[in-house]
Amino acid sequence: MKGLEFADYMVVLVYFIIVSSYGIWVYNRKKAVKTDSKDYFLAEGSLTWWAIGASLIASNISAEQFIGMSGEGFFVGIAVASYEWVAAIALIIIAVWFIPIYLKNKIYTMPQFLTRRYNSTVALIMAIFWLFLYVFVNLTSILYLGAVAINGLVGGEYLHTLMVGLAVFALIITLGGMKVIGYTDVIQVAVLIIGGLATSYLALTMVSESFGLGKDAIAGFGAMMKDAPEHFKMILDKPTEGTSQNDINKYLVLPGLAMYAAGQWIVNLNYWGCNQYITQRALGADLQTARTGILFAGFLKLLMPIVVMLPGIAAYVLHKNGHLPTLEGGSKDAAYSAILAFLPTGLKGLAVAALTAAIVASLAGKLNSISTIFTLDLYTKYFNKEATEKKMVWVGRMTVLVAIIIAVFFTWEDALGIGGEGGFTFIQKYTGFISPGVFAMFILGMFWKRTTGAAAIAGVIAGFVLSIFFNQFAPQTFGNETWLWTAFPNNDGVYEIPFLICMGWSFAFTMALMIGMSLFGPKVNPNAFHNDPEMFKVKPRIMVMIILTILIIAAIYAKFW
C-alpha cells in the first residue's frame, strides 16, 4: 500500500499542533485556578456536559473498534452494531440510576465504592486486579494495535517509532490531569468522527462506482443492501441442521435474540457503569451535568456504527465482487485498512489523524484511571495516609510515567502475544470472564441493602469460575443441548456455547449465590446505601433526550430486524 505523502503529513502535523496547543492552554488556565488532587484526577466541577460526553466516546473508541468492529462488519454485518446501540440504552440506565448513587455518596473511584459498600478487603482485591488489567491488557493492546494500524498506513517500517510516539503524546496529555484530557477529547472525538465519516463516505462511493452508479454514497448504500441482504439483519437466526459453518460462526459471535436476554446487557452495563476508566469522567460533576453528558455520549454511540462498522460491510461487498484486490484472502481484520488504501492524498492523513485521536484518547483515559486508583485507593491508604495534595498529584504523575513505560516494554516485541490473538480478542478474553461477578457485586451493592461483603467476594470468584466452566467445559460435561444452552461446532469441530450466553448464565448463577449467602446476614447491611427515590427523578430536558434515543433505536431495529 502506498504510504503517506506530504499533504498527509501536514494534516497529521496540524492535528498534533491543535491538540497540543489546546491542551497547554487548558492546563495553564487550570493551573491559574487550582491544582489539588481532586482537580487533577477528576477535574471536579469543571467539565461541561459536552466535554464529559465527548470524553466518554473518545476514551471508548480506539484502534480495536476501527479495526475490530469494521472486521466484524465485514464478517457478520450490521448485527455487530448491537454493541453500540445497546450501549446507548445502557447509558440511559446509568445516567438515571447509577450516577445518582455515586454522586450522593461522593464516590470518586470504583474501589472506593467497594470499600464504602462492602469492606476494604473487597476493594483492595479489585483495585489490584483493575491495575493489572488496565496496564497489562488494556494499555498494551491499545498501544500495540494502534501502532500496527498506523504503521500499515505510513509504509510499514515505523512500528517501534510509532509506539513511542503514541505513548509520549498520550503521556503529555495525561500529565495535565483529567481536565486537560476531558477538553482535548472534544477535539479528539471531532477528528475521530470527521475522519471516520470521510472514510465511510469514500467506501460507499467506491461501492456505487463499482456498480456503475456514479459517485453517489446513498446509491452505494442501496447497492450494498441489495447485494448483501444477509449483512443487514440485526437478529441472526439460530442455526439448524442444515446451517453452514460460516453462519454458525456468526451466531457464536452474536447469538440472535438470546444475547439480548443475556450477555449484551452485562457487557454494556458493566463497562459503562462499573468501570473506573469510563465513569471517572462524570464523577466530578453535578448530577444534571453528569446526566446530560452521559446521554450526549449515548447520542454519539448511535453514530459510531457508521464510522467504525460501515466500511467493513463496504469492504465485504467490494471483495465479494472482485473490486478490492488489496484484501488478500478476505481477512476481516484487514478490511478497514483495505478501504483506507484507496483514500486520496490529504484524506489519508485525516484517517491517520482520526486513528491517532482514537488511540491517544483511549491511552490517556486509561492512564488517568490507573493513576487515580493507585494514588487514591492504594498509596494514600496503605503507604502514606498523611500525603499532601501536592504529593498526591506528584505520585499520580509518576504512576502515569511508570505505567506507560511498562506498556511500551511489553508491546515492543509483542511479549504478550497480542498480535497472535488480535487486540479485540485479547481484551475480551481477559475481561469477559470477570464481568459477570463484578457486575453482580455492583448491582446488588447499589440496590439491595442486604448484600454482604462475604457474598461480594464469593460473587467475584464464582463469576470467574462459572465463566470458565460455561465457556470451556459445560458442553463436554452436560451435553451440547440442554434447557440452559445449545452448543454449536466451531471451525475446529469443538462444540461451544456462544460467549454472550455463557456470560448470561454466569451472571444468573452468581446473583443466586450472592443472594443466598446474603440471606444469612442482617436484613440491612450496616454499609448499605440508603437511596432516596427523589434522586432518580429526571428533569424534562433529560426525559426528552431519553425518549429521542429510544425512538431512534426502535426505528433502526424496526428497519433492520
- The owner of cell 488504501 is 341
Q: Which of 175-184, 390-399, 479-488, 551-560 is the least confident region?
A: 175-184
pLDDT at position 441 is 95
Query: Could you please report the per-residue DSSP string of 165-189?
Result: HHHHHHHHHHHT-HHHHHHHHHHHH
The answer, as to whether pTM is greater than 0.75, is yes
Residue 421 clears pLDDT 60, i.e. is over it:
no
CA pair distance 4, 2, nearest whole angstrom = 7
Mean pLDDT of 274-280: 81
Mean pLDDT of 45-73: 80
Residues 6+ apart with CB under 8 A from 194: 350, 354
3-class DSSP assignment, residue 523: coil
Which cell is 173 given? 496529555
Region of 155 please: left (phi>0), alpha (psi -120 to 50) or beta. left
3-class DSSP assignment, residue 29: helix
- What average pLDDT is seen over the chain? 86
Mean pLDDT of 140-166: 82
Mean pLDDT of 244-272: 89
pLDDT at position 38 is 62
Kindly report, residue by residue over 338-382, the tens digit of the pLDDT.
888 787 888 888 888 888 887 888 888 889 889 989 998 899 988
Residue 40 clears pLDDT 70, i.e. is over it:
no
User: What does the domain layout of the chain look like in residue ranges?
Assistant: 6-13+65-431+531-560
Indicate the CATH number for domain 6-13+65-431+531-560.
1.20.1730.10
pLDDT at position 425 is 58
**Which of 280, 272, 297 lies closest to 438, judged by CA?**
272
HSE-CB of 397 using CA atoms within 13 angstroms: 14
- The owner of cell 488489567 is 133
In this predicted model, which residue has the larger pLDDT, 38 or 205?
205
pLDDT at position 82 is 92
Which cell is 275 given? 468501570
Round the CA-based radius of gyration of the chain to a whole number and report it: 23
What is the pLDDT confidence band of residue 23, given thresholds at 50, 70 and 90? confident
Kindly report, residue by residue over 508-549, the tens digit of the pLDDT.
999 999 999 999 999 999 999 988 889 999 999 999 999 999
Percentage of the chain exceeding pLDDT 90: 41
The most confident of 44-53, 184-193, 233-242, 318-327, by mean pLDDT: 233-242
Residue 312 · residue 334 · CB < 8 Å:
no
Pair type for strands 495-496 and 488-489: antiparallel
Which cell is 267 given? 457487557
Kindly report, residue by residue over 438-476, the tens digit of the pLDDT.
999 999 999 999 999 999 999 999 999 999 999 889 999
Residue 123 · residue 377 · CB < 8 Å:
yes
3-class DSSP assignment, residue 495: strand
CA pair distance 405, 415, nearest whole angstrom = 14
What is the pLDDT confidence band of residue 324, given thresholds at 50, 70 and 90? confident
pLDDT at position 424 is 57
Distance of CA 441 to the CA centre of its chain: 20
pLDDT at position 474 is 94
